Structure 1
Amino acid sequence: MTDTTTTRTPTAVDAIADRYHEAALALSPIGQTYLGIPGHETELDDFSPAGHEAHATLRAGVLRDLDAAEPVDDVDRVTISAMRDRLGLAQETHEAGIDIADLNVIASPLQEMRDVLDLMPTDTDEHWSHIAGRLRAMPAALDQWFESLHAGAERGIVSARRQVEACIQQTVDHTAGDGYFATLVSGARVDGNDLDESVRADLEAAAGEASAAYRAAGERLRDELLAKAPESDGCGREIYPLHSRRFLGAAVDLEETYAWGQEELARITEEMQRVAEQIKPGASVKEAMQALDADPAYQLHGTDALKAWMQEKADEAIAELGGTHFDIPVPVQTIECMIAPTQSGGIYYTGPSEDFSRPGRMWWSVPKGVEQFGTWRELTTVYHEGVPGHHLQVAQTMYRSELLNSWRRMDAWTSGHGEGWALYAERLMDELGYLDDPGSRLGMLDGQSLRAARVVLDIGVHCGFEAPAEVGGGSWTYDKAWQFLNAHADMAEGFLRFELDRYLGWPGQAPSYKIGERLWMQLRQELQQREGDAFDLKAFHRRALDIGGVGLDTLREALLRPTS
């Protein structure tokens, strides 16, 4: 297809953004690996208080530069608005001490320094030597993290006991005889062949050092932090708005959103029952799901079959949507579906490198022992992670080098924008008829039910709002949260327990999906009403995605501003 991106002359505002992008990456070897930038593969970020302060000092200087900057066009106006939002919220988070006390079950330094290994290439002995170097950096990085945790504790900021205990268990799991570090070494190959003897010896020694450091970290968490950790899971009504704005890039009325979440969940529940009737007349939703699980037409056996199916559906969506509902540049037409090396469950996306030599990838983390998969449940997830979801969103933004500066293309990610778009993408595929099959539609609604339930649960628990009547009202407790979540999500207990721990330890993130979708849908409807018959859905998608992953208030401001 022909790309219609307009070439734009970089401005002084672009220069500020580009300098910040380069300086922030210089402070983050992990960030460099995520973007596919070579050169610091054996290093990790500085997780100490000094490391956090270095980022804060950098942000403060950039915010001063932006105050003095004059925009020359709408692209500049969006850049200034987006950077003030993202960097300003990061500064508020730093001043509140949230960054130095960062500990949770999914997205704190304990996970980040291990997760980055999944993105490192393994095609040569040299690549494995880089992994060995990064493994050797883990003991020092963990020590730096503990410096920050203790600094946070001195300020009275410590994650909830449940999060500390779960992180301790993660260190036990990773360092077990069949845990992450052991399997990393046993599975190390180059083109199916064993590594060079010296490289393998170095990798084994480095993995041993990293494993010992993780084991020691678990012991330190138990000995040094657990007694200081509060029993309460909720972060509190006072601090929650900061978390919510950080993940949405927008301020929402939390009381109204809490009520809306309950109404939306009730709507989805009713719709699920109607679809269940189509699948098996007279059946409950659970019974309809059981029928789908038992139907061979929806079954896949083994991870090879799962990976092939993911790739087939992702490629099919790209071929059919490109040129009709979306402009999909040629490099973005490639997505690679992968089975993740971890076994924690879940599906996630990682973006391409800037030159697209490493494509965007959809990863499925398959729990140990799981060999059967139901496509009715996961087709909507392929659209969420692939096209028109995250892959189109992230990779297309990366591609727009003639329009957007490096910060806008590679750093400007906001959960409410990104995850909200991915849920919007699922709903769009339903609108376009790709989920007309009752089984696949029930799978989509099941995912929507989970996302709506966690709006209610997350806001309710952390803000201390009254629990819904279905769990007895009154104050939220862990048992009420579990009862509520279990009633509105069809997942194995292990998955769902992890999900609940994630919401309790990462305030504001989980609701950003459904709230983000709501804001995306409201924005589309507002533009449809304004433009009437002139509204063009494909043009809306193109214009919105070309803005990149800014906060949702910035997105709304940009899309509603008259085009010049």
Structure 2
Amino acid sequence: MNSETTPRPGAERQPSILDAACDAFVMDLAELTPTDATAWGVADESLNSELQDFSPEYWERRAQLMRNMLMDVDALDESTDDSDDDDDFDDVDHLTAAVLRDRLTLELDKHHAGEDLRLLNNIESPVQIIRDTFLMMDTSTAAGRDAIRGRMAKIPQALRGYQESLSAAAGQGHVAAIRQIDKVISQCEALADTDSMLNNLGVEAHSAEVQNAKRAFGELSAWLGDNLVSMAPARDAVGRDRYELFAHEFIGDEIDLDEAYKWSLERLHEVREEQNALVRELYGPDISIRQAFHNLNHDERYTIHGSDNLQKWMQNTSDAAVAALDGKYFDIPAEIRTLECRIDPAGTGAIYYTPPTDDLQRPGRMWWSVPESQNTFHTWQELTTVYHEGVPGHHLQCGTTVSSDVLNMWRRTACWISGHGEGWALYAEQLMADLGFHEDLGTRLGLLDSQRLRLARVALDIGVHLRKQVPTNTGVWDASYAKWFLRENTAMDEAVMSFELNRYLGWPGQAPSYALGQRLWEETRDAALAEGQTLREFHANALALGSIPMSILAKEVLNN
């Protein structure tokens, strides 16, 4: 681990007492939550063989660490005066303190509301955390495989602890919607199956560790069916009070949800008109957007067959973007010019990015979790996805943060705000068009399809979870209308669309953070340019701050 208790190479600013406290906090979190330690690249390799148990006691210990950190921030801040002592907060410390207070207070609010105990959905809850941590682990060395074996041996205990938390939540009447329980049951069954991905992690498939882990997932599947299904609500909506908490967490700021809903529908209309104009240019006046998608999907110029060829195309496209942008539009640090593109064997349909470890030994990676039924891919639609996940999107953003010689470890690795991060990645997609990388009308249509999807998700997510009237005022948003609305507003493959819809229904507040975050990035950029900053200066100044709430970022980068 690179510790801020000593300067990083090239650092001009000496680490502060608050930086040291943040580093200690990260190490405490890493010890308590070993899957995070793996994701962050903490140097204590013994943690790679450990696994948190997701029990009520685990969640309370995690909350106590956050309470203690907040008390430390307050105590250190109160000791600051104007005497220029070494212990005084500088501008970096004041920013760190503001972000800590925002993020940790939100986490504690969720804990006090019991949200951690009831955590269950199809994408970001303990089953997926356990499954996905193995994708980041080393299978090439004996030591790496031993760590996997050790962590896998702890899966039964972790899943028993998870059951205790779900039982405690159910005792308070807090049970996930039946749709989410059904999806997690299916995921557990896949992990328990004879061809489970657990067989392919470098540990012998017949070993006790693999067999016991598979058995534990099978037992959790049965337990969910026996104990939670009958209690699970059919309604997916979480209601305004819970949604406001989630929206603040993911977007990074409190916003007017009703205004955001109205704005998204208005922008959807504008983007649809842009698509119609492109379609007329491509195919003439008598072709619909849907027909244009069909034509592009059957155009061999934009077609890839097979996951292996998809991986090669992802890698080549990513490498080309780095070469074209570095030194011209961005200064990309040498240590993050490598991005690995990989196929995720879980097959969920998700496309995502994992950042470099803090020591920069594991590179950033772009993952495509290809469903078993999908063998054909369309580059007109997915070119913008590579820019989103790679450069100038997440890889540039996260790599810049991780390689910083100013930020402490908590800000480099442990603080992630979706509205900032996903907002930047969507902003980066549009930026590539602005810089001339979508001269091809097909890929330009794919960009607009991506933008339209993210806008549709704002309306869908807020509409469903707040039980708003549908745009035609003929009823209330529910899963059936949401599926129709999603199909009308995207060219997404059916298997992927099904996964995405369930994600929105079970992970409230996250999906809108993309378009609403992009909106905040664009507003801040426009204000910076109006003040006289160049685009390159704005990007450099903003990305140097790491992932922080956009309202705080605006105060930092703008003069007024």
- What TM-score results when the alignment is normalised by the length of structure 2? 0.93
**C-alpha separation in 2, matches of 1:454 and 1:345:** 17
Per the alignment, residue 5 of structure 2 pairs with none
Per the alignment, residue 219 of structure 2 pairs with 216
Q: 1:152 aligns with which of 153, 164, 169?
A: 169
* Matched position secondary structure for 1:508: coil
**C-alpha separation in 2, matches of 1:492 and 1:501:** 14
Q: 2:209 aligns with which of 206, 209, 233?
A: 206
**C-alpha separation in 2, matches of 1:380 and 1:227:** 42
**C-alpha separation in 1, matches of 2:265 and 2:492:** 20
User: Aligned letter for 1:33?
Assistant: T
Taking the TM superposition and a 5 Å limit, the aligned residue runs for 1:12-91 are: 12-37=17-42, 38-68=45-75, 69=77, 70=80, 72-91=89-108
User: Aligned letter for 1:537?
Assistant: L
Per the alignment, residue 192 of structure 1 pairs with none
CA contact (8 A) 1:379 1:440 kept: yes
**C-alpha separation in 1, matches of 2:301 and 2:441:** 13
CA contact (8 A) 2:348 2:499 kept: no
CA contact (8 A) 2:53 2:159 kept: no
* Matched position secondary structure for 1:41: helix
Q: Following TM superposition, by how much is the alpha carbon of 1:256 offset from its aligned partner in structure 2, in angstroms?
A: 0.4
Q: 1:541 aligns with which of 539, 542, 545?
A: 539
Q: 1:259 aligns with which of 258, 262, 281?
A: 262
Q: Following TM superposition, by how much is the alpha carbon of 1:525 offset from its aligned partner in structure 2, in angstroms?
A: 1.1
Say which is worse superposed, 288-297 or 213-222, in terms of deviation: 288-297
CA contact (8 A) 1:343 1:366 kept: yes
Confirm or deny that 1:247 pairs with 2:250.
yes
**C-alpha separation in 2, matches of 1:99 and 1:131:** 26
User: Aligned letter for 2:389?
Assistant: E
Per the alignment, residue 338 of structure 2 pairs with 334
Confirm or deny that 1:364 pairs with 2:365.
no
CA contact (8 A) 2:179 2:234 kept: yes
Q: Following TM superposition, by how much is the alpha carbon of 1:543 offset from its aligned partner in structure 2, in angstroms?
A: 0.7
Per the alignment, residue 287 of structure 1 pairs with 291
Confirm or deny that 1:180 pairs with 2:197.
yes
Per the alignment, residue 508 of structure 2 pairs with 507
Taking the TM superposition and a 5 Å limit, the aligned residue runs for 1:120-199 are: 120-182=137-199, 184=200, 188=202
User: Aligned letter for 1:508?
Assistant: G
Confirm or deny that 1:410 pairs with 2:413.
yes
- What TM-score results when the alignment is normalised by the length of structure 1? 0.93
Q: Following TM superposition, by how much is the alpha carbon of 1:553 offset from its aligned partner in structure 2, in angstroms?
A: 2.3
* Matched position secondary structure for 2:49: coil
- The 4+ residue runs of structure 1 with deviation greater than 3 A are 3-6
Per the alignment, residue 376 of structure 1 pairs with 380
Per the alignment, residue 445 of structure 1 pairs with 448
CA contact (8 A) 1:249 1:554 kept: no
Per the alignment, residue 430 of structure 1 pairs with 433
Q: Following TM superposition, by how much is the alpha carbon of 1:135 offset from its aligned partner in structure 2, in angstroms?
A: 1.7
**C-alpha separation in 1, matches of 2:9 and 2:208:** 52
* Matched position secondary structure for 1:349: strand
Q: 1:8 aligns with which of 5, 8, 13?
A: 13
* Matched position secondary structure for 2:119: coil
CA contact (8 A) 2:306 2:375 kept: yes
User: Aligned letter for 2:550?
Assistant: L
Q: Following TM superposition, by how much is the alpha carbon of 1:287 offset from its aligned partner in structure 2, in angstroms?
A: 1.2
**C-alpha separation in 2, matches of 1:347 and 1:233:** 24
Structure 2: tracts of 5 or more residues without a match: 1-7, 81-87
Aligned length: 540
Q: Following TM superposition, by how much is the alpha carbon of 1:4 offset from its aligned partner in structure 2, in angstroms?
A: 12
**C-alpha separation in 1, matches of 2:493 and 2:204:** 38
Deviation string for 1:18-72 (max 9, x for gaps)? 2211211111110111122322222111311111111111111111121231363
Over the residues paired in the alignment, what is the CA RMSD in angstroms? 1.7
**C-alpha separation in 2, matches of 1:310 and 1:101:** 37
Deviation string for 1:284-328 (max 9, x for gaps)? 111111111111211222222221211111111111111221111
**C-alpha separation in 1, matches of 2:233 and 2:406:** 48
**C-alpha separation in 2, matches of 1:114 and 1:179:** 11
**C-alpha separation in 1, matches of 2:311 and 2:233:** 42
Confirm or deny that 1:298 pairs with 2:296.
no
User: Aligned letter for 2:40?
Assistant: L
Deviation string for 1:217-246 (max 9, x for gaps)? 011001111122112110001221100001
* Matched position secondary structure for 1:140: helix
User: Aligned letter for 1:555?
Assistant: L
* Matched position secondary structure for 2:407: coil
User: Aligned letter for 1:545?
Assistant: L
CA contact (8 A) 2:311 2:343 kept: yes
User: Aligned letter for 1:26?
Assistant: E
CA contact (8 A) 1:272 1:442 kept: yes
**C-alpha separation in 1, matches of 2:144 and 2:380:** 38
* Matched position secondary structure for 2:175: coil
User: Aligned letter for 1:526?
Assistant: A
Q: Following TM superposition, by how much is the alpha carbon of 1:494 offset from its aligned partner in structure 2, in angstroms?
A: 2.2
* Matched position secondary structure for 1:39: helix
Per the alignment, residue 307 of structure 1 pairs with 311
Structure 1: tracts of 5 or more residues without a match: 189-198
Per the alignment, residue 231 of structure 2 pairs with 228
CA contact (8 A) 2:53 2:160 kept: no
Question: Aligned in 2, Cα 1:355/1:160: closer, same or farther, shift over 3 Å?
Answer: same
Say which is worse superposed, 314-323 or 387-396, in terms of deviation: 314-323
Q: Following TM superposition, by how much is the alpha carbon of 1:205 offset from its aligned partner in structure 2, in angstroms?
A: 2.5
Q: Following TM superposition, by how much is the alpha carbon of 1:158 offset from its aligned partner in structure 2, in angstroms?
A: 1.3
Q: Following TM superposition, by how much is the alpha carbon of 1:561 offset from its aligned partner in structure 2, in angstroms?
A: 5.1
CA contact (8 A) 1:465 1:475 kept: yes
CA contact (8 A) 2:349 2:495 kept: no
Q: Following TM superposition, by how much is the alpha carbon of 1:6 offset from its aligned partner in structure 2, in angstroms?
A: 5.8
Per the alignment, residue 467 of structure 2 pairs with 464
Question: Aligned in 2, Cα 1:215/1:121: closer, same or farther, shift over 3 Å?
Answer: same
Per the alignment, residue 319 of structure 1 pairs with 323
CA contact (8 A) 2:358 2:412 kept: no
**C-alpha separation in 2, matches of 1:234 and 1:546:** 37
* Matched position secondary structure for 1:358: coil
* Matched position secondary structure for 2:377: strand
Confirm or deny that 1:482 pairs with 2:483.
yes
User: Aligned letter for 1:463?
Assistant: L
**C-alpha separation in 2, matches of 1:60 and 1:367:** 41
Per the alignment, residue 196 of structure 1 pairs with none
* Matched position secondary structure for 1:362: strand
* Matched position secondary structure for 1:361: strand
**C-alpha separation in 2, matches of 1:80 and 1:245:** 18
Q: Following TM superposition, by how much is the alpha carbon of 1:5 offset from its aligned partner in structure 2, in angstroms?
A: 7.3
* Matched position secondary structure for 1:348: strand
Say which is worse superposed, 370-379 or 414-423, in terms of deviation: 370-379
Q: Following TM superposition, by how much is the alpha carbon of 1:116 offset from its aligned partner in structure 2, in angstroms?
A: 0.4
**C-alpha separation in 2, matches of 1:334 and 1:344:** 26
**C-alpha separation in 2, matches of 1:433 and 1:5:** 35
User: Aligned letter for 1:457?
Assistant: L
Per the alignment, residue 3 of structure 2 pairs with none
Q: Following TM superposition, by how much is the alpha carbon of 1:354 offset from its aligned partner in structure 2, in angstroms?
A: 1.8
Per the alignment, residue 351 of structure 1 pairs with 355
Q: Following TM superposition, by how much is the alpha carbon of 1:369 offset from its aligned partner in structure 2, in angstroms?
A: 4.1
Per the alignment, residue 558 of structure 1 pairs with 556
* Matched position secondary structure for 2:48: coil
